[in-house]
Amino acid sequence: MSRLMVLIISVAIVASVIPAYSQEVVPEQAAVNSKTVSGQIASVDLEKSALTLKTMDTATGIEKDESIQVMPETEIVSGNVTIKLSDLKADDKVEVGYTVDQTGILQANTITVK
């Protein structure tokens, strides 16, 4: 009887520890994969919640356009004020913190107007 009790307690202890090791660490992974890009807004598409940013490729010196998806949770700030996507306009200079999804789309985490 005591062996059975020890076995049951051992299984209960192991079962309570396993979930702690199997939890996902999604926010930390997003922070690790986060990148930034600076440039001037070429256009803002409110229907698609996206913007096109004119950037400079530092390796080649060639200007290129980057399409960036603005997510519902994207934080957009100008100075100390939180603003909306509709407040951004062409020619605004911004810095965008983003991650790249599995399909290669740049998804903005933060947009800061300079």
The answer as to whether 70 is a domain residue is: yes
Considering the entire predicted model, what is its pTM?
0.71
| pLDDT (average), residues 53-69 | 92
The answer as to whether 1 is a domain residue is: no
The answer as to whether 30 is a domain residue is: no
Domain that holds residue 96: 35-113
Number of domains in the chain: 1
Its sign, for the CA torsion 56, 80, 30, 99, is negative
| pLDDT (average), residues 47-73 | 93
1-56 pLDDT, tens digit per residue, is: 566 666 666 666 665 655 544 444 444 445 557 899 999 999 999 999 999 999 98
The answer as to whether 60 is a domain residue is: yes
Question: CA torsion angle for 24, 102, 104, 33 (degrees, to 10)?
Answer: 20
Residue (of 97, 91, 101) closest to 52 by Cα position:
91
Give the CATH number of the domain where residue 80 resides: 2.40.50.320
The answer as to whether 23 is a domain residue is: no
